[in-house]
Structure 1
């Protein structure tokens, strides 16, 4: 397909290190449980099923763009969607998260793990519907889960507080671990490729659980695979890399090769920029409002937005960053008042 030509869209301008006409803003998990219209259209439909229904997928993706006036849509999906598309038995259990039919425990389990090789036409069709509704100032961000996070779900059988089985495999059976990462990387890359072919404008590699690792373990057991995924699409669209609780890993994660580094709320943006710059040179920053501040009222929002924007300016003036995309330091919390999200966007844009 012919990719949209929207270089002046604020998010794409910022991602390229240019000066957008306003600070671009989008929020992780902006589509979903915080919106009453989302709860209405999802009634009686499972989370994963909705990710394979093109019109519903597009509607959910566009709901926060229409309501909040954000500068980008984030494709409504889940990091386990490519596993489901490949034929892995997985369900998203409300209140818990992705749960596997069977955990990966042996090398034989890994060798039997399906690899996504086909297109996923439902996702591509949904992307087409979304692109038809977006304006030239609004980007569509696709995303994939990083192989470490997917591997952890598979090894643990679902969400884990301590990732003990994952770390046991990393340290006790490193060859088995690397075989699993090798098996997952093509599926993730394929799912990303089909999103790009369908027309997404930017992408985010989301490593939910990398913050549980030491930098040494991250570099040895995770980084090479994230590098491979991002290298596969170098020069095609802007690449964002984000992990939760990864302040100690920012330098190492920046080596994966993305143009934009997401920063969670635990590290000030200017400090994060120093850590990234020291390893990889200046990059565009994304972040990093604490999602809980959306519950704190207008005065707190104004103060925190101003602080974060000033940290970004300091980082750019110091030569440690080349741009700033405003976001949360993780996803929108489920009970967040929708009106607070709309207000936050207006404050970031300087309209309120």
Structure 2
């Protein structure tokens, strides 16, 4: 065995993600470790964001902050890292610019751009390039001491391509759309390369101690239904198919896999057949409609409160939680739901309001 870890005291999310009936729905939220917590800024100090990601001690400290603050209320930790570490491993420079977000000084402009050829030709060793992530995972898993499971993650190929060609966040997606509509074959070649790296990266996260994994397709909603079928769906399916194979090759047991195709409301039916155990929903879905779409397939749904409700009144939070409890059919199903927000927490949320959200989930789903 690669590592020796303490036995699990709370494996609720693992059982739920495998589709088992559970005593209550497990809870975690995207970006639960981060800027909204005052202790995050203390741990970060004067380091920039990627410096924190690259320092296993700092990363593990930040990962554990919500577990300690909300002890007994949340059921998973997610490693403090970033989806853009894969483009970095591929040789691209990514900086985190204060108040602006990620910035690529030299994005991929076109297939005739010398950098595209360089990125495609580069033999990327994610075991070496992203070793700091695995060290952070192992250290965090040891510090967790079995309190809750640890989630690993990666960005999905289409989302990473968007950042790599846009040079950062965007509202227009001019460069991304140019690639898929003008250079579709070259775009697919890049997407495939990223998918192969995602499989290895996730497998090595599991080897290091991650017990579930999530694939973030954050820009799925920027694709039309037909474009989603060409430029997102095949690569999400590739990861779901090949990760269990790679884990077996490494002598590791399979772990539950979650996919989050944000904004692609039209793709829920397809997402249920990609090979993942769970599909995470953004807040644009009515839970009851999503449950109907899943039907009798053994797919777990994750989500999906509007993160903006955390700016609202306590009454609004209670109402939102009740709508999820009813919509996901918790009282009768007792399975098939992992509680989350419909996207990540924003930086200005009061941690006490998030705590109230967690408490209301516990109150409204406890076994009568």
TM-score norm. by structure 1 comes to 0.92
User: Do the aligned residues in 1 keep the contact of 2:10 with 2:148 (CA within 8 Å)?
Assistant: no
Structure 1 residue 297 corresponds to structure 2 residue 303: no
The separation in 1 between residues aligned to 2:164 and 2:200, in whole angstroms, is 19
The separation in 1 between residues aligned to 2:278 and 2:4, in whole angstroms, is 20
- Residue deviations 1:116-147 (CA, integer Å, cap 9, x gap): 31423322221122112225351101100000
Q: Choose which of 263, 277, 281 in structure 1 pairs with 2:281.
A: 263
Q: Structure 1: state its 5+ residue gaps.
A: none
Question: In structure 2, what is the equivalent of residue 211 of structure 1?
Answer: 221
- Residue deviations 1:190-222 (CA, integer Å, cap 9, x gap): 221221110101010001101111111111122
Is the partner of 2:54 in helix, strand or coil? coil
- Residue deviations 1:48-81 (CA, integer Å, cap 9, x gap): 1111100000000000111123110011111101
The separation in 1 between residues aligned to 2:10 and 2:344, in whole angstroms, is 26
Is the partner of 2:328 in helix, strand or coil? helix
1:308 CA drift (Å): 0.1
Question: In structure 2, what is the equivalent of residue 340 of structure 1?
Answer: 353
Check 1:211–1:115 CA distance in 2 against 1; reply closer, same or farther (3 A cut).
Answer: farther
Question: In structure 1, what is the equivalent of residue 14 of structure 2?
Answer: 12
Runs of 4+ in 1 over 6 A off after TM superposition: none
**Root-mean-square deviation over aligned CA pairs:** 2.2
The separation in 1 between residues aligned to 2:81 and 2:322, in whole angstroms, is 31
Check 1:172–1:87 CA distance in 2 against 1; reply closer, same or farther (3 A cut).
Answer: closer
Count of aligned residue pairs for this structure pair: 347
User: Do the aligned residues in 1 keep the contact of 2:76 with 2:151 (CA within 8 Å)?
Assistant: yes
Question: In structure 2, what is the equivalent of residue 103 of structure 1?
Answer: 107
1:164 CA drift (Å): 1.8
Equivalences for 1:301-316 in 2 at 5 Å?
A: 301-313=317-329
Question: In structure 2, what is the equivalent of residue 77 of structure 1?
Answer: 81
Relative to structure 2, which stretch is displaced further, 83-92 or 302-311? 83-92
Question: In structure 1, what is the equivalent of residue 248 of structure 2?
Answer: none
User: Do the aligned residues in 2 keep the contact of 1:247 with 1:272 (CA within 8 Å)?
Assistant: no
Q: Structure 2: state its 5+ residue gaps.
A: 245-252
The separation in 2 between residues aligned to 1:33 and 1:305, in whole angstroms, is 24
Equivalences for 1:1-352 in 2 at 5 Å?
A: 1=2, 6=8, 9-69=11-71, 70-107=74-111, 108-113=114-119, 114-119=122-127, 120-234=130-244, 236-277=254-295, 281-313=297-329, 317=333, 322-350=335-363
